Amino acid sequence: MEKIYFVVAIWLALAVISTVIAYHLKMSIALVEICVGVVAAAVANHFWGNDAMGGSAEWLRFLASAGAVLLTFLAGAELDPASFKSKRKEILIVGFIGFLAPFLGCTAVARYLLNWDPQASWLAGIALSTTSMAVVYAVMLETGFNKTDFGKGILGACFINDLGTVIALGLIFAPFTYKTIVFLAASTIILALFPFITSFLTNKYGNRTAAIRAKWIILVLFSLGALALWAGSEAVLPAYIAGMLLAEFAAKEHIWMRRMRTLTVGFLTPFYFLRAGTLVSLPALISAPLIFLALLLGKVASKIFGLYPVIGQFRKERSEKWYYTLLMSTGLTFGTISALYGFSHGIVTQEQYSFLVAAVIASAVIPTMIANYAFMPKHLLQDKEAQKKAGQPLSEGGFDEE
């Protein structure tokens, strides 16, 4: 038992270091955790051998998986129902093209330019088709755009984009057997009842017992995750839909949502993102940097060529079109989740996984920096005080941990 405590202490120490670095560099904590995981694993493996950090231990893999499931749920719960209804056409079209263009473009790059096998190529297309709800949400809060129709449209489009990724991952790689039918039927029934039971438990017991909402929601997410794994799918897939179904409920329960974010970001997701970084092979990246560049350029270029003309139908100002397009070109959480799914199931090799994660990380940084420094549409910010209130120090995905 003391060994487990020692390993956990090391990983949480890396999480604390990542938080300090992220604060001073003003970067997403998830991004920094992945990078710290890459460096820590390279150093540990060099001096103490492979898997010196214990990333393959079953209990640590469970903590990492639990973090991914809860973070996926929270991302779905960030959907603003009112904004979705008022900007339905824009959100659906931009979100769908934002998924489809890089999905097809990056699959083609991996298959015909890099000569990856078909399965690995499809996985690459899925991993690089994402946009980063976490990064975009943080930017919206920090700038004040989350209070504008412009920002709400971007967030809605990000949601549809990532929903396309979740569906594609399930349809292409989940084996279709009788277990799939059982999983779909059970998930449909559970998710249909989920909002009503959650509201009932909240009204009946929410203010009288200890954290029954958190226990109930985690119970449902883990139950659906167990069904998904039993059916040969991935535990994060139903979590996104569950979050979407509770978006209206979450919008009214600010204190409860903050506590869920604290649990997720403060304890669970560091294990996920740090572990994702430890699986990256630095020697593979160093030996073939052109593969990394091809995947990164494939993602960003396909996003830009696919989205810029479409966004132009809804936004006429040049700065607005470029800002919108570049933020939709980011990727992080679902990109790493998809890549890790591929690696865990033998769809991609560790080298291919390393290239995909490196491209995902770069896409979280470069487009965001260019958008903020060169194309920020400041004329849309109507109230300086609102901007100041929205720009509080945030952790992953704009989550205030205090």
CA–CA separation, 394 vs 401, rounded Å? 7
CA–CA separation, 92 vs 402, rounded Å? 34
- Compute the mean pLDDT over every residue in the chain, rounded to the nearest whole number: 85
Structure letter (DSSP) for residue 266 = I
Q: Is the pLDDT of residue 302 over 90?
A: yes
Say whether pTM exceeds 0.85: no
- Condensed to tens digits (0 to 9), the pLDDT of residues 224-248 reads 999 988 887 778 778 888 988 888 8
| Mean local confidence (pLDDT), 99-111 | 96
Beta bridge partners of residue 399, listed in sequence order: 395
> For the ranges 16-25, 88-97, 283-292, 375-384, which has the lowest average pLDDT?
375-384
Q: Is the pLDDT of residue 298 over 90?
A: yes
| Mean local confidence (pLDDT), 204-220 | 82
Q: Is the pLDDT of residue 394 over 70?
A: no
CA–CA separation, 171 vs 165, rounded Å? 10
DSSP for 101-123, please give it. Answer: HHHHHHHHIIIIIS---HHHHHH
CA–CA separation, 160 vs 171, rounded Å? 16
Return all residues near 391 (Cβ < 8 A) that are at least 6 apart.
141, 142, 143, 144
Main-chain phi, psi angles of 324, to 5 degrees? -55, -50
Instruction: Give the number of other CB atoms < 10 A from CB of residue 369.
Output: 12
Which domains are present in the chain?
Answer: 2-174+234-389 (1.20.1530.20)
pLDDT at position 209 is 65
CA-based nearest residue to 263, from 73, 6, 35: 73
| Mean local confidence (pLDDT), 249-266 | 82
| Mean local confidence (pLDDT), 314-339 | 89
Confidence label for 395 from pLDDT (cuts 50, 70 and 90): very low
Q: Is the pLDDT of residue 400 over 60?
A: no
Q: Is the pLDDT of residue 205 over 90?
A: no
Tokens matching residue 283: 């020697």
Share of the chain above pLDDT 70, in %: 93
Beta bridge partners of residue 395, listed in sequence order: 399
Q: Is the pLDDT of residue 147 over 80?
A: no
- Condensed to tens digits (0 to 9), the pLDDT of residues 152-191 reads 888 889 889 988 988 898 888 877 788 888 998 999 999 9
Beta bridge partners of residue 249, listed in sequence order: none
Return all residues near 211 (Cβ < 8 A) that are at least 6 apart.
259
Tokens matching residue 276: 């994702």
